[in-house]
Structures are given as C-alpha cells and as structure tokens.
Amino acid sequence: MTTAHDVAHHPAPGRTGTAHPAVGAATALLDAYTPGDNRFFASPTRTLLAHGTRAEVPHDDRPLPERVAATLRAQRAAGNRAPLVVGAIPFDHHAPSALAVPETVRWSSPLHEDPLIALPAAAPGARVWDIRPVPEPERYGAAVANAVDRMRRHEFSKVVLARTLELESTEAVDVPALLQRLARRDAGGYTFAMPTGPGRALLGASPELLVSRRGNRLIANPLAGSAPRSPDLAEDVRRAAALLDSAKDSHEHAVVVAAVSQALAPYCVDIDVPELPTLVRTAAMWHLSTTVTGVLRDQDTSALELACALHPTPAVCGTPTATARGVIAELEPFDRGFFTGMVGWGDASGDGEWVVTIRCAEAEGSKLRLYAGAGIVAASTPGAETAETAAKFGTFLHAVGADL
C-alpha cells in the first residue's frame, strides 16, 4: 500500500500552493487534528496533517540524516511511492528523536491563504492553573549575571539561557483547542503539534525557519534580537524602531547570521546574505530577521542534512557552540528536551522544511510545560532578559487563558 496524499487543491511537497486554493481546505486539516498518532505542521508555504505511523526512525549510532535516508529507502522498497518523515528532533543530537513515516498524509495550501482562518478560535474555558516557574525569576536573573560576568572575562561570546513554566490544572489539557488558538493568532508562522511519547504532545507556533530545501534551492531565516509588542500602536512602532537601532540586538543578530552563512556556504555554489536585518513580527514579539538564500552544490544534500549542519545556531545555543552547551548544562536546572530542537518534515527527494522549536510547550495529561529563552551577550542585563522571556511566554499564556 502506498502513502495516500490528498492532492485535490493541495500542494505536493515541491510546490508552494495553488493559484486558487479551496476555501476551507487548510482550516479543515487544522480542524481534523486530534492528539495521539497524528502530526500537524503548517508553514507559510503549505499545511500538512499526517495520520498513523508506518515506520519510526530508529535511534542508533548513525548520524540522523543517514537513519532518516535509510528509513525512506526502506519504505520505497516496500512499495511506498512517496514516503516522508514528520516529527521533532531534540536539542541534544544524541537524544532519541520523534520522527516517523506516517500511514497517510493530507496536504493543503497555507493557513494564511484560507479566509476561514480569520474566524476566531473559541476562547479558553475558565480554569485555574497552578503555575510554577523553573527556575524562579531571581535564579534565572542570577544565571544571566553569571554568564555576563564570564563573557566580560572573554570565556565565550554568547549563550542562550532558557527558563520554563510548569502549568497544571484539574482537567486534561485540550490540545486541539490550544492548537486552534495558536494557529489562528499567528496564521503566517509555523504551527505544529507532534507526539513525543505516550500521552505527550509537543505543540507550538514558531516564528523561525531553520532551513527549507526545494530542489537545488535553500532558504534559512535566522532570528535573533527581540522586543515585546505593545497593544498601543505608537508604542509598538517605537519598540520596533528601537529594536532596529539597538547595538546590543544588532550584534546578537550579526553573530547568528554569520554562523548560519558560514555553515551553509560549503554546501552552496551561490549564497546571498543581506547586509542588514529586517523586522518580523508575531502577535507577541518583534524580531530582527535575515533571509539567507542559496543554490546547492549537490542536490543529494537533503534539507535535514542542512538543518543538522546548522543546528544548534547561536540563536538557540550560543558561541562557541561547545562552550555554550556546557554553560547551558551548568546554569539551566532542567532538560530542554525538544525545546530549541527542530520540527518539520522531509521527503525521499531531499526536500523539506525544518523549523526551530521555540514558542512551544509539551502537554501531558493535565500538565503543560512552557519554554522560553533569551540570547545573553556581554551587554545583557538580568532584568531585561527576564522580561524578554516573560514576553515570549505570552504566546502560550494567552492561548490557555493564564497570566503570570
């Protein structure tokens, strides 16, 4: 049996949409998502809903792209004409991934092209959340101060430090309703819901494309340097302008862009890196953004190979990478798991989209764990970085009807 792709009004993996996408096609996939053995991924180019699991990518000593390629080859040999993998990859490359070849896949045009996405999601029901920060804001601020002091002693240049909020209520988390609110609030971004274990679901609305590949062309869109949005239009514009003018944020962004372009350059015969960043906005945040494009030297290089060459970028780890990883392990009192890893899809031709797993949470039963991080450089202050992570929590706190 071959993998079923619903092709009426839906883009195949190499396409970016249809000239006249069917009204309701993308939101129908969003509405059809249920937790368990289903996987949802929406990007500015397409919407994907995968059902069931035909094969899981094994965890062994081989590099992840080799394991994925072998799994896809085996699927083709078994008669699956158009196999692809969908799922999540953790921050730690050595930890098991949650990648699978689904039984069936349905594709559609992007959510933002579907007029029905403008309809509001149901408001979160009234419930009481017990919210526990890990670490406490004061301890997080102390970790930021520790990192800044060490950077001023030239031990490293940047580190990304994260913190979490552990939410619990008396009722099970309504994952489909939460996904609806995330998708409808930021329909132009990257929205996902993936199983990561029995009874666990990773879901989020990431603004950041790590890398996509279509044929011999690639796109990467590093984000670094952030400011919270304001409901007041004049203040919102002021914050956006201040972010563009910020020496601290411009430096942080330049470090990330340089690392991305250096990692991709060996794979490209041509690469274009704009000199100055632009702004991208979500419902909660402004970000400095640079879109890097390139032409591949070897079309056998898959999107996942490119993603693994990039990950972790200084936007989620720091620089130098090995030193920053050590600082993260020392100063963060929790395991990141899939936070700041990758989520997306890749097919047997090598095309795919891989997104940085930020603005995310993991749901299990009545518990929800939220994650947020901030890039720490020598000019950082504990108060500002604590406030930035609090603003980033806003995406999910708004979606569940909770407040800090």
Q: Give me the sign of the Cα torsion angle 187, 41, 390, 285.
A: negative
Q: In 3-state terms, what secondary structure has residue 338?
A: coil
The active-site residue out of 208, 332, 362, 388 is 208
Q: How far is CA 120 from CA 115, 130, 189, 303, 307, in A?
A: 12, 26, 17, 34, 34
Could you give the dihedral angle defined by the CA atoms of residues 73, 354, 329 and 368, in that order, rounded to the nearest 10 degrees?
Answer: -110
In Å, how far from its chain's centre is CA 284? 15
Distance CA 92, CA 279 (A): 29
Strands (E), 266-376: 268-272, 278-281, 285-289, 292-296, 318-319, 342-347, 352-356, 360-364, 367-376
Active-site residue 392, yes or no?
no
The active-site residue out of 158, 252, 332, 362 is 158
Strands (E), 135-184: 158-168
Tokens of residue 341, six digits: 């890893």
Active-site residue 208, yes or no?
yes
Q: Pairing state of beta strands 4-6 and 104-108?
A: parallel
Task: Give me the residues paired with residue 167 across strands.
Answer: 131, 368
Burial class, 403, CB count within 10 angstroms (exposed 0-12 / middle 13-18 / buried 19+): exposed
Could you count the other beta carbons within 10 Å of the beta carbon of residue 317?
Answer: 24
Tokens of residue 267, six digits: 């794979």
Q: Please provide the size of the chain in residues.
A: 404
Distance CA 204, CA 208 (A): 12
Tokens of residue 78, six digits: 């078994």
Tracing tokens 């879901």 back to the chain, one arrives at 203
Task: Produce one character per residue of 22-61: b if its CB has 16 or more CB atoms within 10 Å, e if not.
Answer: eeebbbbbbeebebeebbbbbbbbbbbbbbebbbebeeee
Closest to 216 in 3D by CA, of 306, 155, 139:
306
* Enzyme catalytic residues: 158, 208
